[in-house]
């Protein structure tokens, strides 16, 4: 009896296992059937929408080279429907529409044909009620955005598989198939350029560019944001900046920056894709004031001297730490000058900080508190100065009453009296009334400026202006420059004494003229 009962239990367990297996297999196939049915149902609904869109597009055929103000294009149809454009502020669904765009582009699927779909204004958002009201399509529980210009239909939710959207876009142009493709915008980068340097403001432009072997079409820009390092990393719109304008034909934004800082810019295109940020350091200064007979100059990458076309030329100067270029000028007599703008400073054993100021004020161009700072004595001893033109090289002259501030010449050693006499008689007539012998304070201002940039100037042991016996030697001898590049003041730290206005009457040495600008 026991044996019979045992056999019965074993049989029962086997039967249960078989039933469970049958149920599991049935569920598996039912799930598969449900997936197939669900997909087929989705495709059928999308086809209905697509057919309606195709009819509309055939009715309104002016799709190429369309003008929003001309009849016969999809704008006319939208007006007929009394349906606002997708990115119109009057569209009550604008917030939900934007959420769909963000969701689309957060997935690893490209839902945009960059040749034609990059204009978000061509898209309109339809919920189920809209599909019935405007397109006459009943019982379609889909939320879609439709581009009547290209015929594309994109569903907000699509069909999911293992938590991933596998189908969402229906594309009439490739035979009414649902499509998906990987996003590939790695070769599109943001770029920023200074197009005008006005001293106390800079006009810049920012845009997207395509790099690499495969050039991509550039989408339009939806918004540009910036972060200001002087603030708490608050993301702000560039459209709030001065003179902001977006030129759609160039896909470029222009605006003016009038506060010194280090800025990070983030471009968001019309597909709500953000690109890696680009940075720009802006140090605004009193712009150099060219006197009669002076021309602004800069050097190209090959060391060639270039004369500026106008005083707003962005190549002329840049006082940012990352791209330090002091303004240089040349007078009619061939002499070289360097502009040192007015600044305030705070010096300690550990570090020397400076901030440039506006006009003859003591207010930082960073619009921040400057407790502990003071205007450097070179600019405020007797007169309030906007800046100083300092001779780029120590003076040299082969004859009496001549002053030559050019590279590659033997430096002249004189006593203070003769040096002053030379400046009074040997300088260009246009500048004669403004030129004087450098003071200790002005010399110190150059040293302070170099310290603030963590620049160490090498001791010039060579008795030639610019540290070389030939005209272009200074281009390579930048270790003798106050900025360690070709734009600085040379021969500042030398083995030979340099005279200043504070020197004794009979003291001898090299000398350097300056021009104070009020």
Express each pLDDT in 206-234 by its tens digit.
Answer: 999 887 544 456 778 888 999 888 777 78
pTM, two decimals, is 0.66
- The last residue of a domain, from among 147, 179, 211: 179
- The last residue of a domain, from among 124, 154, 179: 179
Same-domain check for residues 329 and 272: no
Listed as own residue / partner, the contacts of 297-303 with beta carbons closer than 8 Å and 24 or more positions apart are 297/328, 297/329, 297/330, 298/325, 298/328, 298/487, 299/475, 299/486, 299/487, 303/472, 303/475, 303/486
Tell me the mean pLDDT in the region 459-477. 87
Same-domain check for residues 117 and 244: no
- The last residue of a domain, from among 115, 144, 179: 179
Same-domain check for residues 128 and 224: no
Which residues lie closer than 8 Å to 227 by C-beta, 6 or more apart? 233, 234, 235, 236, 263, 264, 266, 277
Total domains in the fold of the chain: 3
Q: Would residue 289 count as lying in a domain? A: no
Q: Would residue 502 count as lying in a domain? A: yes
Q: Would residue 5 count as lying in a domain? A: no
Same-domain check for residues 98 and 204: no
Look at residue 40 and give its three-state secondary structure.
Answer: helix
Q: Would residue 469 count as lying in a domain? A: yes
Q: Would residue 453 count as lying in a domain? A: yes
Q: Would residue 13 count as lying in a domain? A: no
Q: Among 9-13, 161-165, 321-325, which stretch is predicted with the lowest mean pLDDT?
A: 161-165
* Both tokens assigned to 21: 């297996």
Partner residues linked to 515 by β-bridges: 389, 435
Residue 53 lies in domain: 34-179
pLDDT tens digits, 247-301: 988 889 999 999 999 999 999 877 667 788 899 999 999 999 999 999 999 999 8
Partner residues linked to 305 by β-bridges: 299
Tell me the mean pLDDT in the region 401-416. 88
Same-domain check for residues 413 and 495: yes
Same-domain check for residues 278 and 320: no
Closest CA relative to residue 327, chosen from 353, 308, 346, 347:
308
Q: How much is the pLDDT for 444?
A: 93
* Alpha-carbon span 517 to 151, nearest angstrom: 65
* Alpha-carbon span 264 to 88, nearest angstrom: 29
Same-domain check for residues 353 and 410: yes
* Alpha-carbon span 384 to 275, nearest angstrom: 46
Same-domain check for residues 339 and 211: no
């Amino acid at each position: 009896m026991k044996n019979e009962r045992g056999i019965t239990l074993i049989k029962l367990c086997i039967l249960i296992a078989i039933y469970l297996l049958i149920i599991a297999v049935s569920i598996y196939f039912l799930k598969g059937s449900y997936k197939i049915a669900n997909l087929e149902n989705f495709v059928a609904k999308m086809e209905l929408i697509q057919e309606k869109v195709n009819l509309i597009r055939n009715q309104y055929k002016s799709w190429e080279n369309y003008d929003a103000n001309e009849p016969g294009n999809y704008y006319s149809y939208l007006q007929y429907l009394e349906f606002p454009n997708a990115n119109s502020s009057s569209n009550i669904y604008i917030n939900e529409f934007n959420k769909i765009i963000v969701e689309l582009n957060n997935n690893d699927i490209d839902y945009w044909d960059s040749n034609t779909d990059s204009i978000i204004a061509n898209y309109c958002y339809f919920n189920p009620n809209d599909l019935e009201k405007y397109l006459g399509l009943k019982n379609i529980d889909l939320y879609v955005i439709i581009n009547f210009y290209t015929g594309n239909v994109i569903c907000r939710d699509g069909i999911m598989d293992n938590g991933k959207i596998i189908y969402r876009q229906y594309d009439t142009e490739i035979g009414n198939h649902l499509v998906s493709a990987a996003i590939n915008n790695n070769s599109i980068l943001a770029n920023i350029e200074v197009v005008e340097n006005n001293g106390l403001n800079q006009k810049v432009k920012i845009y997207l560019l395509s790099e690499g072997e495969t050039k991509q079409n550039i989408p339009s820009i939806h918004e540009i944001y910036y972060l200001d390092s002087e603030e708490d990393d608050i993301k702000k719109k560039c459209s709030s900046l001065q003179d902001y304008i977006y030129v759609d034909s160039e896909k470029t934004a222009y605006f003016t920056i009038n506060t010194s800082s280090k800025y990070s810019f983030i471009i968001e295109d019309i597909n709500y894709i953000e690109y890696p940020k680009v940075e720009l350091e802006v140090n605004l200064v009193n712009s150099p004031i060219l006197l009669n007979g002076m021309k602004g100059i800069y050097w190209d990458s090959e060391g060639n001297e270039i004369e500026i076309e106008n005083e707003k030329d962005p190549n002329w100067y840049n006082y940012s730490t990352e791209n330090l270029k002091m303004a240089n000028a040349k007078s009619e007599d061939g002499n070289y000058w360097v502009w040192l703008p007015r600044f305030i400073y705070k010096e300690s054993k550990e570090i020397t900080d400076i901030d440039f100021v506006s006009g003859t004020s003591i207010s930082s161009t960073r619009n921040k508190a400057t407790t502990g700072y003071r205007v450097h004595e070179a600019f405020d001893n007797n007169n309030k100065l906007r800046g100083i033109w300092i001779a780029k090289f120590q003076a040299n002259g082969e004859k009496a009453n001549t002053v030559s501030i050019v590279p590659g010449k033997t430096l002249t050693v004189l006593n203070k009296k003769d040096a002053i006499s030379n400046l009074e008689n040997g300088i260009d007539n246009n500048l004669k009334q403004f030129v004087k012998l450098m003071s200790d304070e002005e010399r110190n201002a150059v040293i302070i400026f170099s310290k603030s940039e963590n620049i160490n100037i090498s001791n010039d042991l060579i008795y030639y202006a610019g540290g070389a016996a030939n005209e272009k030697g200074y281009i390579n001898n930048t270790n003798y420059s106050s900025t360690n590049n070709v734009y600085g003041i040379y021969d500042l730290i030398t083995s030979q004494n340099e005279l200043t206005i504070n020197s004794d009457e009979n003291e001898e040495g090299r000398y350097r003229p300056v021009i104070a600008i009020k």
